[in-house]
Amino acid sequence: MKPLSGLRILEFDGLGPVTFAGMVLADLGADVLRLTRGAGAGAPVFAEVGGEVLHRGRSSVAVNLKDAGDRDAILELVGVADGLIEGFRPGVMERLRLGPDVCAARNPRLVYGRVTGWGQTGPKAAEVGHDINYIALSGALHPMGEPDRPPRPPLNLIGDYGGGAMMLVTGVLAGLIEARRTGAGRVVDAAMTDGSALLMSLFHALSGRGLWRGERGANLLDGGAPFYRCFTCRDGRFVAVGALEPQFYSALLAGLGVNEDEAPQYDMANWPGLHARLEAIFASRDRDDWAAVFEGTDACVTPVLTLAEAPHHPHNAARNTFAAGRALQPAPAPRFSGANGSPEPQGASLSVAEALASWR
């Protein structure tokens, strides 16, 4: 048994955060049913983004949301569901007559989770956009990248997944707890602008105290500190250094053969020179040589592994951080005592009748 075993979630298939949120909920044990576009409804642009990884652990039903019969069947599923997640632009579900009010009339306990870039309200709510746009407006993108170049997108991790999907999951789970106590569901409005802004809370706090400068690459955690950044090694690969605390910084310098008296940690005026010195030292040996030097020390130095390398690192292998299957993939996280932590395969494609029968 997993923590969410017994919970039923309807997922209106989409891209980005909804798909990831559905995967996380299924990994935690929820019975998640993906409602996908039927052939008569027109194929989505990216039909199988994520495939057996992001779609794992749940079955699917092909429906036409504009068909009255399929819409009635969906409302039957809504009547026995605990939660629903969707990522359409504001107003789409209402026009399909599947909005929160209609669904609440069928099932007052339903938690209705919505994730969008701009949110359900506000001047930009109806506009299109992508992860990069949402984190740009929230202030999360500006600190990313090199000081003399434009900001560099941090993949789609901050907007789609951190600020979108994980805030949606958090909101849905909070709503489900409340619904069990009160008998009334909620509508969850998870906006990637809101979520990515929230992820920047620490940096707003530091800025308010005068401890964070507006320039990229000039601060403690953005690569400005020579003891918290990545370095290129002789073989063109990289190591990550995170020696923030003084004792860890001492271990770093010891491994590099640098006299600590010559390299005071928080003398920011000397950071440019220390950057150059450490760059030259790290460039003198291969990445895995440095990994061996610092293995088992408190220097907080690790190799920067590629997607292909990461599953084979001894720590990841020992913890089964990645799982084999039709596709090598990250295992579910977090872990729970007494629960199977292996990912479930992608489920079958069901008919509407089969889906209704399985949930009755």
| Tens-digit pLDDT profile for residues 270-298 | 999 999 999 999 999 999 999 999 999 99
9 strand-pairing partners: 32, 83
pTM: 0.94
| Tens-digit pLDDT profile for residues 332-343 | 999 999 887 888
Phi (first) and psi of residue 10, to 5 degrees: -95, 130
C-alpha span between 22 and 9 (Å, rounded): 8
pLDDT of 238 > 80? The answer is: yes
C-alpha span between 228 and 221 (Å, rounded): 6
Phi (first) and psi of residue 35, to 5 degrees: -100, 110
Q: What is the rounded (10 degree) CA torsion for 210, 261, 286, 315?
A: -70
Token duo for residue 29: 């044990």
244 strand-pairing partners: none
The residue type at 358: S
- Which of 67, 130, 142, 313 is flagged as catalytic? 130
pLDDT of 40 > 80? The answer is: no
| Tens-digit pLDDT profile for residues 81-113 | 999 999 999 999 999 999 999 999 999 999 999
Looking at residue 360, its pLDDT comes to 81
| Known catalytic residue at 130 | yes
- Mean pLDDT throughout 136-157? 96
| Tens-digit pLDDT profile for residues 319-334 | 999 998 777 899 999 9
C-alpha span between 174 and 85 (Å, rounded): 14
- Mean pLDDT throughout 223-230? 97
pLDDT of 48 > 80? The answer is: no
Q: Are 336 and 285 in contact (CB under 8 A)?
A: no
180, HSE (Cβ side, Cα atoms, 13 Å): 8
pLDDT of 248 > 90? The answer is: yes
Token duo for residue 99: 């909005």
C-alpha span between 94 and 262 (Å, rounded): 66
Looking at residue 87, its pLDDT comes to 96
Among 247, 210, 209, smallest CA distance to 227 is for 247
pLDDT of 45 > 50? The answer is: no
pLDDT of 47 > 60? The answer is: no
Place of tokens 């701009």: 118
Looking at residue 49, its pLDDT comes to 65
pLDDT of 28 > 90? The answer is: yes
Average model confidence (pLDDT) across the chain: 94
Least confident stretch, 62-76, 120-134, 143-157, 330-344: 330-344
Q: Are 117 and 44 in contact (CB under 8 A)?
A: no
pLDDT of 41 > 60? The answer is: no
- Which of 27, 70, 160, 189 is flagged as catalytic? 160
| Known catalytic residue at 160 | yes
